[in-house]
Structure formats: structure tokens, C-alpha cells
Chain A
Amino acid sequence: MTSQDGAMKDPGERSQRIELKIPSQLLYLGVPDAILMELAGDLPCDQKDIDEISTSVIEACTNAMEHGNGMDEQRQVEIHFDIAKDEIAITVLDHGPGFDHKGWIPPEDLLRERGRGITIMREFTDELDFDFAADGRFRVCLRKHLQRRE
């Protein structure tokens, strides 16, 4: 794996990296989804796995745009996809102050209109980490093990 600062482990043999930068505008949230859907047909895994990691990345990018970059269109969200046959590892970087999700507890009110993004990312990934990259950007690392398609 080609992570510059070694924050993420090798996701598996022959991993390939795709790097993407998108402006902080909601209309671009579909771009990382489109990339993963394009790759889905060539990966020997269930569509469910791709749906779940893609939904998680959309959540990470939504947070990066809204809370990290303050919807400033001039500030970009950077996304790294590290693709291997048995695992997808994705890093999302923004320019915000960040936060620690570990102590975060989802509110109980089912009719609340916000506050489900962390829950979705936790449930749909095998590893979820929040920290800062060496250049000071806030970083979300998501990892999904792929179940081999029967």
C-alpha cells in the first residue's frame, strides 16, 4: 500500500491506489460512489460489501464537506481508495478541526433529523479511525473486508 505516512496497514496483495479530489459541494458526493460501483463488477465480492463501504465513504465525505471544510467550495476533500482483492481501505482528508468519535453515543430520539453518520460508518466498516495526517489535515480511515462471492 502506498500511504505516504504509513497510517494504514497493507490491505492485501496487489493493492492499487486511486486518488480523488473533489470540491466541498454536495453534488460531488456521488463521485466516490460511482468509482466504487465501477469497480464492483471486477471484484470477487458481494454487491452488499461495495454498497456498505460506498455508503460509509459518502458519509465521511459529507462530514468532511460540512464539518471539516465548512462547505467552502475552494477547500477540497481528498479521497484515497486502496483496492485489493479481499479488502478496500479508504482515507478521507479535510481541512477541519476534527473530532474523536470513540466517545460518541448516538442520540436515542429516532425522529432526530441529524446525527446518524457515525453510526452508519461504524456499522458498515470493519475498521474506522479518525486522526490527523502529517500535513495537519483531519483524516478518516475506513476499512472493509470483502466477502468472497460464491
Chain B
Amino acid sequence: MKIKERIRDGVVILELSGKLMGGPDAATFNDTLKTLLHEGYRNMLVDLSRINWVNSTGLGILISGYSTVKKGGGDLKLLNVSDRIESIFMVSKLHTVFVSFSDEEEGIRSFA
């Protein structure tokens, strides 16, 4: 998995690409979020449009990231969740945890 960061209106947009499946990606993602929190950023929007697939350990990465940001006083929301990934969220009830958007502007405004 690759992570690309950009910032719009104080919101960090983290563009993930590849496969979200655990392994070393877990530490990489969490370290990225911790660094951003340390730098003072609190609002994170994670763009999943370039993620091919997610497995249950990949879900764990997102949950770990969500918990890290929440503990740091911020919020983590999702952007561009594909139908395939949305169906996994539904059966694992994670749609009740993650707020997601299909429009970047709307996602950014939600942090206001």
C-alpha cells in the first residue's frame, strides 16, 4: 500500500493505493497519522478510491488509525469507498463506525 498526503483547508487527505491487507502497512499508516497529529493536524480524510481490495487485517489498519486519531483529539473519515469495500463494511458493521463521503468538498466541509 502506498500513502500520498495533501492538505486542503486544514484537512489532511490521505490517498491510499494498492491493497489494504495488514503486514508492514499497519505500522506505516499509524506512524503517518501520529506524525500528522504531532504536527497539529486533527482532521483526516482517507481516500480509498485507489484501493483494489481490503481484507479483515486491512480493516484492522483503518480501525487502528481511527482509534489513534480519536485519541489524539481528531477525527478520521473516509472518502470514495467502492461498492466492494462498502459491502465489507456492512457485513462487519463498520459502516456504523466510519463516516464516509463520495464527494471531497462535502467531506472537507464536514469537519467545519
Residues of A within 8 A of B (CB): 26, 29-30, 33, 48, 51-52, 54-55, 58-59, 62, 110-117, 119-120, 123-124
Interface size of B by CB at 8 A reads 25
Indicate if the CB atoms of A123 and B91 lie closer than 8 Å. Answer: yes
Given A26-B21, A62-B21, CB of A117 within 8 Å of CB of B91:
no
Please choose the segment from B2-10, B38-46, B82-90, B101-109 that sits at the chain A interface, where 4 or more of its residues have CB less than 8 A away.
B82-90
Indicate if the CB atoms of B55 and A62 lie closer than 8 Å. Answer: yes
Indicate if the CB atoms of B56 and A110 lie closer than 8 Å. Answer: no
* Other A-B pairs beyond A48-B83, A55-B84, 5, CB < 8 Å: A48-B87, A51-B87, A58-B55, A59-B56, A113-B64
Between A and B, how many residue pairs show CB distances below 8 Å? 63
Interface of B: prevailing SS: helix
Min Cβ gap B82→A in Å is: 9
Given A55-B88, A124-B91, CB of A117 within 8 Å of CB of B56:
yes
Min Cβ gap A85→B in Å is: 22
Give the docked Cα–Cα distance between A26 and B88 (Å): 19
